[in-house]
Amino acid sequence: MPTINISLKDLNNLVGKKISEKDLPDLLAYAKAELSGIEGDDVSVQFNDTNLPYLWCVEGLAILFKGVLGKEKGIPDIKIEKGDYKIIADRSVRSVRPFISAFVAKGGKIDEFFLKQVIQLQEKFCENFGRRREKVAIGVYPSRKISFPVYYKAVPPKSVRFVPLEFTKEMTLAEILEEHPKGKEFAWILENTKKYPLLSDSNKEILSFPPIINSHTMGKLDLEDNELFFEATGTDAEGVNLAANIFAHVLSMRGFSIHSVKISYVGKNVITPDICVEKHKLDTDKVSSLLGIELKDSEIKKLLEMARFNFKSGNVEIPCFRNDIMHSVDVIEDIGIMYGFGNVEPLPLTAYTIGGTFDLQKKVDKLRDIAVGLEYQEILSPILTSREVLVERMNLKRALDLVEIDNPMSAGFSVLRSWLLPGLMDVLMHNKHVDFPQKIFEQGLVSVRRNDTITDEERIAGISSHVGVSFTKARQAVDAILKACDVVAVYQDMEHSSFISGRVAQVVINDKPVGFVGEIHPAVLTSWGLDMPAAGFELNLSELFKIIK
Amino acid sequence: MTDIKKLINTLHPLERKVLPVLNSYKTLPEIVSATGLKEVEVMRALQWLENKKIVKISTELKEVVSLDKNGQKYAKNGLPERLFVNALKKRELSISRLEKLTKLSKDELNSCLGILRKKAMVLIIKNKELKVKLTDEGLKRVKKDFLEEKFLKKSFPLDIKSLEPEEQLALQNLKKRKNIVRIEMQKLKHVKLLSKGKDILAQGLGDDKIVDVLKPELLRSGEWRNKNFRRYDVSINVPKVWPGKKQTYRLFLDDVRRKFQALGFVEMAGPLVESEFWNMDALYMPQFHSARDIHDALYVKEPKRAKLDEALVKRVKASHENGFNTDSRGWNYEFDVARTHRLVLRSQGTACSARMLASDNLSIPGKYFAIARCFRKDVVDATHNADFYQVEGIVVEENLNLRHLFGLLKTFAKEFAGAEEIKLVPGYFPFTEPSVELFAKHPEMGWIELGGAGIFRPELVRPLTGKKLSVIAWGIGIDRIAMFKLGINDIRHLFSHDLEFLRNQKVVSCRQ
C-alpha cells in the first residue's frame, strides 16, 4: 500500500483553506487513507485503495479535499493547448511495449521541492499502479534539449549505446540491464523480448530506455528548466493515458500550461493527454437500495460533485484521472462516503437464522474433552513446519505424502504437517526442565498428499513423558477415547520406526487402520535431545467418524 | 477437646515413634538408634514436632573424632601391637618368624617395635639374628587392654570434649599413626522436650485409639466409632499437580465459535490447500493483484493443478474480463485459466465464503462464519505469523444494504470488544463495494481496529450464485483481543510450546 510524504502548508495553499492537524484523519478517510505520521509540516499518508493513483500526491488530495470542503465542485477544469509535438511509434514496439502517451508542460517553476514531489508520484504510480513499471513506466525530461519528432521503437539490445543516468560511460542496453542498479532491478520486465524499447529524437539523441532508465544527457532535470516533456510507456493503453492525465492535472495546478502531443501509431493517430470524460448511467433507485438511505436526485448530484464527478441527466461523468469505476456500486460508494458513513443510521438484521456448526467440529470438540479428562494438557502448534521435523527427527526414512511449498520463506516453514506427534515432540524438547509427568495432546488438521489429491484430516495425538511410561498407559488413553466414540478397536502388531519395535500397535476398526500407539523409539528421543522416555498415540478422526457412520 | 488432646490427634505415626524416646535420649544418633527409624524419618518427625512447639532442636558445633580406614580395621581385628604380643607370648622370636605369625607388614612391624619399646614392654636381643622378647613389664601389661584398645572400643563419632584424660592420651597416640582416627567439626543436634511435649507424654499418646488412614475394614466393622482420626495440618503446602487443560488460545476461539452460534451464524469450513480460483479469483481479486504474487502467497509444489467446476470457472473468467452479466465492465484484462487451477495455501478465510456462496447448501437468508487457518509469506516476528487463524463470514439476504452492514458491525463491536462506541471509516477491498473499516472503543484497550467489511460486488456474487443477492462480508481481527485477554504481547505465543506458560494460563480471569 503506497505511502507518501506531503507538506501541510503546501496542501493548505492548494486547497485554499487552513486544514489543521486535527482535521487531517477525518479528511484523509475520504481518500481511504490514514495519517501514518506527522512531524511539523511534514505529513506522511498511507493509502488503502490501490486503484486511485491520482490521490498519491498533494495535488490529487487537494482536488478531493476542495470537493469535500465545498471550495470547488464537479470535475476540475483543465486546459490542454494543442501542441506542435509528435511521437512516431514504430511497428517494432507492438510486441514489446505497445503504448505511449506524452505531453509538454511549460512556464512553471521548478525547484527542489517540486522535483521531489514529481519523483514521489512517479515512483508510487509506477510501483503500485504500474505493477513495478511493467504495466506503466514514466519518464520526465527537459524539453528544450529535444528536437521533435521523437521516435519510439524497439531495437536489438546491443545496437545502441548511451550514458544512463548517474553513470559516466556509454553502455549498450544489454550492459545496462546487467550493470546499472535500475537495470538489474527491472530487467525481469524484458525477460521474454528480443528487442528493447528506446526513445530518441530527430537528432538521434537517445532520451531513454523505457521502462529502465533515462539518458544522462537528455533525461536529467535541472533547476533552471521550465519546460518539461512527459511520457508514459506501457502494456496497457488505459494505464499510460491515466498517467498522462494525472500528471497533466498535477502540473497544471502548479502553474504550467499543458501542450498536447500527437502519437502516430501505424495506422492511427492519438492525441494525449486525452481528457474526455467517460459517462456512466446511474439508476438512482440503486443508490437507495445499496445505501439504505433515500436521496433526491439533487442530493445525489451534490454528493457526486463533492466527489469531483459531474451528474447530468442520469449520467455520472467520470473525471479523466480516474479509471476505477467498473460498476454503479463504485459510484454509489462514493455517494455514501460523501454522505458520511457516520450519518448512516445502523439497522439491526431481522432475518431469523439458527446458529450451528458442522458435525465434525462438534465431534472433535467432545474428544478434546476426553483428552483433558485423561489429564492431558492441550497444545496448539503451527501447521507450517519442515521435513526435518516430520521425517528425519522422527526416525523415518522417507515420506511421500508431504504437501511442500514451492516458494517457502524458510526451510522451517516449508511443508504442511502430515501428522501431529512431531509437534508434540517439539513441546517435550522445549520443556525438559519443567515438572514431570508431562502429558500433552493436540487435536487439529493435518494435510496429506496421495498422488494428485491433497486431503485434510482432523486428528488427535497425545504423548506422555515421565519415568515409567508404557505402551499400556498409552493404549489405555486410546481405549478411553474410542470407548467415548462407542467403538472397540483391534490392536495389531506393526512396524513404525518412530516407535520401539514390538511396542507399537496399529489401531484397527472394522478392518481399517485409524492410527497407532506405542513407546517412542530411543533414536527419536535422542534426536529431540530428550532423556526421558515417552509413549504416544495418533488417531485419524476424520477416518474414524467415517467408519462409525 | 482440650488443646493438648487436639495436639495429640495431629501426631503423625513418625512423631508418635520419636516422641516417647525423647525423655531418655537427646541427640540425633541416640534417637535414631532408640527408635530404629531412618535418620531422615527422625529428622522429619522432629521438624514437625518443632513446628508444633512440642520440642526445641538446637544445633551445636563440635569437634568429634571418628575412626578412619585403619582404625575401623583395628577395632575389628585388634591393634597390630596386640597381634604382635599375642604371637610373641613368652617366647623369644626372630622378626622374620613374627612376620609370618602375625601377617603384619614390615611397616607395621617396625611401628609395633617402636611402640612396645617406648612402653618398655619388649627387649631386643642382638645375636646372629635380631630376636624379640617380652620384658617383665611387658608380661604384666599384656594382661590388660592397652589405652588405645579401650579407646577403639568406644562408639564413634565421639565428642572430644567428653573424653577422660586417659582417653585424651590414647587419642594423642593414635593421631600420630596412619589413618586410624579422623578429627572433624560436626553439627550435633540436640533435642529438648518443651512443656507441651512433657504434657503430651504425661497424658499418653493413646496410640490404640488413633487412626491414620481410614480403611474399608474400619468402616465395615464399625470400629471407626471408637477411633480418633489423626488431625492434619491443613495449612501446609501440598505437592503440585497439573490438570488436563484446553490450550489457552483454542479456549478463546471456542468462545468465539459459541458467540457466533448464539448470534445465529452457521460455521463454514474449507481446505487448507486451495486453488487460486477459490482463494482469489472467485472473490473477484484480479490476477495481477499484489497480494497474489510470490512474495505474499505460498504456492504448493505438487500436485500442479486443482480440479474445478469448469462451468463456474468460465463464469468467473467472464466476470474478470468483462463483468459477466452484471453491467460491470470488469477488470478488463485477459484471465489466465491455467493460473486459476494453481494450488495455494489458503491466504484468507473469505475463500470459505466463496465456496459457501457457490454451494447448494446455501440458505437464504443465511448467516455464516469461519474460523479458518490461513497462511501468508510473512517474516515471522512478534506481530506477524505465517500461520494464523482468521475469523470472517457472510450474511446473505435478498435485500441488505449499508445500514444492515453497519448494524451488524455495531453488534460485533459490542459482542467481541465490549464496545458501545464505534467508528466506521471508508475502506478498500477488491471484493466489496462499499467497503468499510470498523474501529471500536474497547473499555480497556481504547480505540482498536476491529475488522473490515463490505457488501460483496455483484461481479463476485452473480457468477457464484447465479442470483441477484445482497451479501454482507466481514472479517474480524480477533488476534489482538485474544492477545490482550490472554495477557501476551508476542503473537507467536498464541501457538506457544512453553508448557509452564500453558499450565499456568488462567481459564477464568478478570479480563473478560
For chain A, what is the mean pLDDT?
94
* Burial class (CB within 10 angstroms; exposed 0-12, middle 13-18, buried 19+) of A513: middle
**Intrachain domains A3-68 and A278-343 with the same fold:** yes
Best mean pLDDT range from A516-525, B127-136, B438-447: A516-525
How large is the average pLDDT for residues A217-230?
A: 88
Check if B366 contacts A (Cβ < 8 Å): yes
Per-residue pLDDT band for B365 (boundaries 50, 70, 90) equals: very high
Who has greater pLDDT, B494 or A399?
B494
Check if B242 contacts A (Cβ < 8 Å): yes
Who has greater pLDDT, A381 or B115?
A381
The predicted model scores a pTM of 0.82
* Residue A422 C-alpha, separation from nearest chain B C-alpha, in angstroms: 12
Cβ of B264 and A374 within 8 Å? no
pLDDT computed for residue A458 by the predictor: 97
Cβ of B332 and A50 within 8 Å? no
* pLDDT higher than threshold 50 for residue B511: no
* pLDDT higher than threshold 90 for residue B353: yes
What are the phi and psi torsion angles at B247 (to 5°)?
-65, 140
Q: Give the H or E element holding residue A328.
A: helix A328-339
Tell me which DSSP letter residue A321 carries.
T
How large is the average pLDDT for residues A46-68?
A: 94
pLDDT computed for residue B1 by the predictor: 62
pLDDT computed for residue B294 by the predictor: 67
Q: If DSSP codes are grouped into helix, strand and coil, which group holds residue B456? A: strand
Check if A510 contacts B (Cβ < 8 Å): no
pLDDT computed for residue B509 by the predictor: 57
Torsion angle, CA of B493/B494/B496/B499, rounded to 10 degrees? 110
Which of 3.90.550.10, 3.50.40.10, 2.30.30.140, 3.90.230.10 is the CATH number of A80-272?
3.50.40.10
pLDDT computed for residue A311 by the predictor: 96
B59 neighbors B188 (Cβ within 8 angstroms): yes
Question: Hey, what's the cell of B370?
Answer: 469461519
Contacts of A68 in chain B (CB under 8 A): none
pLDDT computed for residue B251 by the predictor: 95
pLDDT computed for residue B151 by the predictor: 87
How large is the average pLDDT for residues B350-357?
A: 97
For cell 520406526, the residue is: A497
pLDDT computed for residue B232 by the predictor: 86
The 3-state secondary structure of A218-284 reads CCCCCCCCCEEEEEEEECCHHHHHHHHHHHHHHHHHCCCEEEEEEEEECCEEEEECCCCCEEEECCH
* B461 residue type, one letter: V
CA angle B32, B37, B43 (to 5 degrees): 65
pLDDT computed for residue B512 by the predictor: 46
For chain B, what is the mean pLDDT?
90
Check if B453 contacts A (Cβ < 8 Å): no
Cβ of B497 and A336 within 8 Å? no
Residue-wise pLDDT tens digits, B166-206? 888 888 888 888 888 888 888 888 899 998 889 888 888 87
Cβ of A449 and B409 within 8 Å? no
How large is the average pLDDT for residues A67-88?
A: 95
Q: How far apart are CA B7 and CA B16, in angstroms?
A: 12
- Structural domains in chain B plus CATH codes: 3-61+187-229 (1.10.10.10), 69-184 (1.10.10.10), 249-504 (3.30.930.10)
Residue-wise pLDDT tens digits, B293-302? 767 889 999 8
Contacts of B401 in chain A (CB under 8 A): 289-292, 347
Q: Which residues have CB under 8 Å from A310's CB, separation 6+?
A: A74, A75, A277, A304, A316, A317
The closest CB to that of A416, out of B272, B303, B437, belongs to: B272
When scoring A328, A374, A405, A430 by the number of chain B Cβ atoms within 10 A, the one with the most, hence best to mutate, is A405
Contacts of B386 in chain A (CB under 8 A): 382, 384, 409, 413
pLDDT computed for residue A388 by the predictor: 95
When scoring A30, A279, A329, A414 by the number of chain B Cβ atoms within 10 A, the one with the most, hence best to mutate, is A329
How large is the average pLDDT for residues A386-396?
A: 95
Nearest to A424 by CA among A520, A505, A344: A520
Query: ipTM of this model?
Result: 0.92
* pLDDT higher than threshold 80 for residue B125: yes
When scoring B497, B501, B507 by the number of chain A Cβ atoms within 10 A, the one with the most, hence best to mutate, is B497
Residue-wise pLDDT tens digits, B275-292? 999 999 999 999 988 777
Superfamily for domain range A359-548:
Bira Bifunctional Protein; Domain 2 (3.30.930.10)
Residues 90-149 of chain A with CB under 8 A from chain B are: 128, 131, 135
β strands within B162-252, DSSP E: 181-193, 210-211, 228-229
pLDDT computed for residue B10 by the predictor: 87
Who has greater pLDDT, A368 or B151?
A368
Contacts of A445 in chain B (CB under 8 A): 272, 373
The closest CB to that of B457, out of A329, A404, A413, belongs to: A329
* pLDDT higher than threshold 90 for residue A269: yes
Beta bridge partners of B211: B229
Cβ of B244 and A404 within 8 Å? no
Nearest to A287 by CA among A321, A317, A314: A314
CA angle B418, B422, B426 (to 5 degrees): 140
Cβ of A342 and B395 within 8 Å? no
How large is the average pLDDT for residues B86-115?
A: 83
Q: How far apart are CA A505 and CA A492, in angstroms?
A: 5
DSSP string, B26-58: -BHHHHHHHH---HHHHHHHHHHHHHTTSEEEE
Q: Cα B487 from chain centroid?
A: 20
pLDDT computed for residue A25 by the predictor: 93
Binning chain A into helix, strand and coil, the percentages to the nearest 5 are 35, 30, 35
In terms of CA atoms, which chain A residue is nearest residue B261? A355
CA angle A309, A313, A315 (to 5 degrees): 45
Q: Which residues have CB under 8 Å from A377's CB, separation 6+?
A: A438, A439, A440, A441, B242, B244, B245, B247, B499, B502, B503
Check if A400 contacts B (Cβ < 8 Å): no
Cβ of B494 and A345 within 8 Å? no
Cβ of A358 and B269 within 8 Å? yes
In terms of CA atoms, which chain B residue is nearest residue A450? B303
- Spell B379-397 as b/e; 16+ CB within 10 A means b: ebeeeebbbbbbbbbbbbb
pLDDT computed for residue B188 by the predictor: 80
Per-residue pLDDT band for A53 (boundaries 50, 70, 90) equals: very high
Check if B359 contacts A (Cβ < 8 Å): no
Check if A399 contacts B (Cβ < 8 Å): no
* Residue B231 C-alpha, separation from nearest chain A C-alpha, in angstroms: 30
pLDDT computed for residue B109 by the predictor: 84
Among left, alpha and beta (phi > 0; psi -120 to 50; other), residue A487 is: beta
Question: Out of A192-196, A222-226, A494-498, B401-405, which region has the weakest mean confidence (pLDDT)?
Answer: A222-226
* Residue A389 C-alpha, separation from nearest chain B C-alpha, in angstroms: 15
Residue-wise pLDDT tens digits, B396-445? 998 999 999 999 999 999 999 999 999 999 999 999 999 999 999 999 89
Q: Cα A334 from chain centroid?
A: 23
Question: Hey, what's the cell of B108?
Answer: 607395621
How large is the average pLDDT for residues B126-143?
A: 82
The closest CB to that of B428, out of A48, A293, A342, belongs to: A48
A450 neighbors A401 (Cβ within 8 angstroms): yes
**Maximum pairwise Cα distance, chain B:** 140
In terms of CA atoms, which chain B residue is nearest residue A2? B290
C-beta atoms surrounding A76 within 10 Å: 16
- Give percent of chain A above pLDDT 90: 90
Q: How far apart are CA A383 and CA A429, in angstroms?
A: 18
Instruction: Report CA-CA distances (Å) from A391 to A421, A424, A471, A499.
Output: 11, 14, 22, 13
Residue-wise pLDDT tens digits, B38-71? 999 999 999 999 998 999 999 888 888 888 888 8
Beta bridge partners of B189: B59
Cβ of B402 and A330 within 8 Å? no
* Residue A82 C-alpha, separation from nearest chain B C-alpha, in angstroms: 31
When scoring B272, B279, B305, B347 by the number of chain A Cβ atoms within 10 A, the one with the most, hence best to mutate, is B272
B431 neighbors B283 (Cβ within 8 angstroms): yes
Cβ of A327 and B459 within 8 Å? yes
Residues 194-213 of chain A with CB under 8 A from chain B are: none
Check if A56 contacts B (Cβ < 8 Å): no
CA angle B221, B223, B227 (to 5 degrees): 160
Q: Which residues have CB under 8 Å from A312's CB, separation 6+?
A: none
Contacts of B299 in chain A (CB under 8 A): 405-407
Nearest to A342 by CA among B442, B374, B109, B423: B423
A132 neighbors A193 (Cβ within 8 angstroms): no
Question: Is CATH 3.30.56.10 the right assignment for the domain spanning A278-343?
Answer: yes
A221 neighbors A300 (Cβ within 8 angstroms): no
For cell 470400629, the residue is: B223
When scoring B428, B474, B501 by the number of chain A Cβ atoms within 10 A, the one with the most, hence best to mutate, is B428
A456 neighbors A445 (Cβ within 8 angstroms): yes
Cβ of B436 and A438 within 8 Å? no
The closest CB to that of A341, out of B247, B254, B426, belongs to: B426
Residue-wise pLDDT tens digits, B216-268? 999 999 999 988 888 888 888 898 889 999 999 999 999 999 999 999 999 99
Check if A353 contacts B (Cβ < 8 Å): yes
Residue-wise pLDDT tens digits, A362-389? 999 999 999 999 999 999 999 999 999 9
* pLDDT higher than threshold 60 for residue A20: yes
Nearest to A153 by CA among A206, A102, A192, A190: A206
Which fold does the domain A3-68 belong to in CATH?
Phenylalanyl-tRNA Synthetase; Chain B, domain 1 (3.30.56)
Who has greater pLDDT, B337 or B199?
B337
Strands A453-465 and A438-450: antiparallel
Question: Hey, what's the cell of B386?
Answer: 505465517
Q: How far apart are CA B443 and CA B434, in angstroms?
A: 29
Domains in chain A: boundaries: 3-68, 80-272, 278-343, 359-548
Who has greater pLDDT, B240 or A441?
A441
Nearest to A537 by CA among A508, A513, A517: A517
